């Protein structure tokens, strides 16, 4: 049974369902849940990016934790939350090794072939790279 599940969270309905699933699993198995949101900056100068992350990183993490706790009332003691700079796939894989994660729960949003080609698929990347069990929520 998983003891420490990682959820990639972007605020979408499928990521919200992923949080609920992971918390229910943790409650049933005596585990914990780590919810991580990737802060990916794609435009602007290095100075602009650094300023934005410094100013918004801490407040975004606080908002993330509050939002996640509201999804499953009473779950606060089971949840760790963090906002991390980087691409979603890299952030999630780094979290697995850094925090002893033994299970990943990730939402999957259906996109057309063109959008998948242009933007990629985080769930596909996680499934390809993960060395721990992965549950994909639709």
Residue-by-residue DSSP string for 83-118: EEES-HHHHHHHHHHHHT--EEEEE-----HHHHHH
pLDDT of 119 reads 41
How long, in residues, is the chain? 138
- Structural domain boundaries, residue 103: 4-137
Its pTM stands at 0.82
Domain count along the chain:
1
Low-confidence ranges of the chain (pLDDT < 50): 47-48, 51, 112-119
Q: For the sheet containing 79-85, what is the strand order? A: 79-85, 32-39, 4-8, 103-107, 134-137
What CATH number has the domain bearing residue 105? 3.40.50.620
């Amino acid at each position: 049974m998983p003891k420490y599940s990682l959820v990639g969270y972007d605020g979408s309905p499928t990521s919200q369902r992923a949080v609920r699933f992971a918390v229910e699993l943790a409650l049933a198995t005596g585990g914990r849940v780590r919810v991580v949101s990737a802060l990916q900056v794609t435009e602007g100068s290095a100075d602009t990016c650094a300023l934005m992350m410094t100013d918004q990183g801490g407040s975004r993490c606080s908002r993330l934790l509050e939002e996640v706790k509201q999804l499953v009332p009473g779950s606060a003691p089971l949840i760790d939350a963090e906002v991390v700079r980087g691409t979603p796939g890299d952030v999630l894989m780094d979290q697995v090794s850094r925090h002893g994660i033994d299970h990943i729960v990730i939402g999957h949003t259906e996109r057309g072939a063109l959008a998948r080609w242009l933007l990629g698929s985080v769930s596909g990347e996680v499934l390809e790279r993960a060395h721990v069990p992965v549950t994909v929520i639709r």
